[in-house]
Amino acid sequence: MSQLPPIEPDLNQAAADATRAADTTDAQSNLELKEIEGLSQSRIVLRRFLRHRGAMISAGILLAIVVLAFSSEGIDALGLKIPGWWHYNYGQIADVTNGGVPSWRHPFGEDSLGRDMFAVVMRGAQQSLMIVFIVGIISLVIGVVIGAASGFFRGWIDTILMRFTDIVLVIPLIVLTATLGRNFGARGSLILAIVLGLASWTALARLVRGDFLSLREREFVDAARVAGAGPWRIMMVHILPNAIGVIIVNTTLLMSATILTESAVSFLGFGVQFPDVSLGSVIGQYQAAFQTRPWLFFWPAAFIVIISLTINFIGDGLRDAFDPRQKRALNKAARKAASASREKARAAASQNVSEQTAQ
C-alpha cells in the first residue's frame, strides 16, 4: 500500500494530463488550419496531392515513360505519321547479331526475326498507354452519366439503368473483354480501346450512383431546389463537384486495372493483333523463349508493372488528397510539434510520479 501514491495528487495529474492532451490536439489542428487558411477546396486537394511523395514520384516516372514511348517510336495513328528519334521501327527486320543478346545497338536485344526489342517494347507501351487512357475516358463518361442519372432520378430510370449495369456486370470482365477483342481486335487497337471502354464502366456507375443517392438528400440540394434550380443545374453545379473525389480516384484505379486486363487479353491472343503489338501480346508471343532469351520477356513485363504501379500510387495519392479524414497528410512540422509536446507531457508525468514516490 505504501508504494501507491496518494489519491488526491493523482487526480490532479490526470486533469493536467487531460488539458495537456487537449493542448496537443489543438496545436495539431491549429497548425493544420493555418496551412489551409483562405484556400479553396480544390487548392487544398491539389496541395495535399502535391505533397504526397509516392504519388509525385510515380507521376514523374509515368510522364517519363509516356514521353519516351511516344518520342522514340513516333506517332502512327489515325493517318497521322510523325517519325521518332529511335533508328529502328517496330516492324523493321534487321540482321540478328549474336543471337539477339542486348547490345549498344539493340539495348533491349532482338527477337529471332531480327526485330529490335526496344522499338517493339516502345510501340507496345504506346498502344497499352493509349488503350488505358481511352478506356479511362470512356468509362468515366458512361459511368458518370449512368450513375448520376440513376442516383438522381431514382424510380424506374434507376431500375432500368441498374439492371442494365447488372447485365454487363454478370459477364466476367475477362470473358467480356476477350469476346469483344475477338470481335473487334483485328480492326486496330483504337477500336479495341473504345470497345474495352464500353465494357468496363460498371463499377464506376455503381459508385457514382451511391454518391448521388446520398448527396441528393442533403440540405444544400434542397436549398438549390427551393431557389428554383432545375435538375440539370443541381446535378452539374451542386452534386457533381461533391462527388468528384470518388470519380477521379476510381477512374484512376480503373485505369491501373485496365492495363492488366488489356495485357492479359492480348497475352491470350484476343487483344491487339499482329503486326501491331501491345505489351501483353509481346509477352504472349515470347513466353516460350523465357529460358533461353529472357530479355524478350522481362522488358515488356517490367513496363507493364511500372505503368500499373505508378498509376496505382497516383490513385492512392489522389485518395489521400480527396479524403479529409486521412491524417497522413499531416505535415512534418505539425507532427514534430505533436510528438515534442507528447514527450514533454510524458517527461513531466514521470517526474511527477518520481516526486510523489519520493515523498
Partner 1 sequence: MLTFLSRRLLASIIVLLLASYLVYILSANAGDPLEQLRTSTSRNKEELIAQRIQQLGLNVPAPLRYFLWLGGVLKVFIGQFTLGQNISGTPVTADISNAVLVTIQLIIASVVLAIIFGVLIGITTALRQYSGYDYTVTFLAFLFFSLPSFFLAVVLKAYVGIAFNNYLGDPHIGWWAYVFIPLAMGGIAAGISGGTRKFRFTTFVVATLATLGVVVYVAVTNWFVTPSLGAADIVMVAIISVALALLVTVLTTGFQNRKALYTSLTTVGVGLVLYFPFMSIADRLNLGGVALLGLLAVAVGLLVGWLYGGFDRGQSMRNGAITAFLTGIVIVISRFLRSWHDYSQYVANGRPIATVGSGTPNLNSISTSFWIHGLDTYTHLLLPTISLCLISIAGYSRYMRANLLDVMNSDYIRTARAKGLNQRTVVMRHAFRNSLIPLTTIVAFDLGALLGGAVVTENVFGWSGMGLLFTNALRAVDVNSLMGYFVVAGVAVVVFNLLADVAYSALDPRIRIAA
Shortest Å, Cβ 220 to partner 1: 28
**Contact with partner 1 (CB under 8 A): which of 30, 287, 326, 339?**
287
DSSP bridge pairs for 81: 76
Question: 189 or 239, CB closer to partner 1?
Answer: 189
Cα-flanking dihedrals φ and ψ of residue 81, to 5°?
Answer: -130, 115
Cα–Cα distances in angstroms (integers) from residue 276 to residues 117, 126, 214, 280, 288, in the given order: 13, 11, 46, 12, 20
Residue 283 interacting with partner 1 (CB under 8 A) = yes
Site string for partner 1, 308-327 (x = CB under 8 A): xx--xx--x-----------
Give me Rg for the CA atoms of the chain: 28
Shortest Å, Cβ 102 to partner 1: 19
Shortest Å, Cβ 22 to partner 1: 18
Give the position of cell 424510380.
Answer: 155
Site string for partner 1, 239-278 (x = CB under 8 A): -----------------x---x--xx--xxxx--------
Question: 65 or 304, CB closer to partner 1?
Answer: 304
- Which residues, at least 6 apart from 354, have a Cβ–Cβ distance to it below 8 Å? none
Residue 307 · residue 130 · CB < 8 Å = no
User: What is the torsion angle, in degrees rounded to the nearest 10, for the CA atoms of residue 15, residue 18, residue 24 and residue 29?
Assistant: -130
- The number of residues that bind partner 1 (CB under 8 A) is 37
Shortest Å, Cβ 24 to partner 1: 18
> 77 in helix, strand or coil?
strand
Cα-flanking dihedrals φ and ψ of residue 192, to 5°?
Answer: -55, -45
Q: Helix, strand, coil: what percent of the chain each, to 5?
A: 75, 0, 25
Shortest Å, Cβ 295 to partner 1: 14
**DSSP character string of 38-50:** T--HHHHHHHHHH
Question: 154 or 182, CB closer to partner 1?
Answer: 182
Question: 81 or 163, CB closer to partner 1?
Answer: 163
Interface with partner 1 in residues 147-186 (CB under 8 A): 163, 166-168, 170-172, 174-175, 178-180, 182-183
The DSSP element (H or E) to which 320 belongs, if any, is helix 295-322
Shortest Å, Cβ 228 to partner 1: 34
Question: 224 or 301, CB closer to partner 1?
Answer: 301
Residues that bind partner 1 (CB under 8 A): 163, 166-168, 170-172, 174-175, 178-180, 182-183, 256, 260, 263-264, 267-270, 280, 283-284, 287, 290-291, 297, 301, 304-305, 308-309, 312-313, 316
